[in-house]
Amino acid sequence: MTTDSNGAELHDGDSVQLIKDLKVKGSSLNLKRGEVVKNIRLTGSASEIECRIGKATVVLKTEFLKKR
């Protein structure tokens, strides 16, 4: 079961909000706190999700997310 930082269960297609500024490795992309990411996809790991930000596909740790 994949959960966000508050313990809410995440599902494919959910929207999440970032709770911390994040730098993306290997890219000049910086994600700001409060930014909403729509239509997430779950991965094989319970602590990670996949999403598209702009044209890039990014894997984010669930400890930095909260469900909207």
For residue 27, what pLDDT is reported? Answer: 85
**Are 17 and 36 a contacting pair, CB within 8 Å?**
yes
For residue 52, what pLDDT is reported? Answer: 93
Does the structure show a pLDDT above 90 at 8? yes
- Record the pTM: 0.88
**Are 66 and 16 a contacting pair, CB within 8 Å?**
yes
> Taking the CB of residue 8, how many other CB atoms lie within 10 A of it?
14
**Could you tell me the domains of the chain?**
16-67 (2.30.30.40)
Q: In this predicted model, what pLDDT tens digit does every residue of 19-28 receive, in sequence order?
A: 999 998 888 8
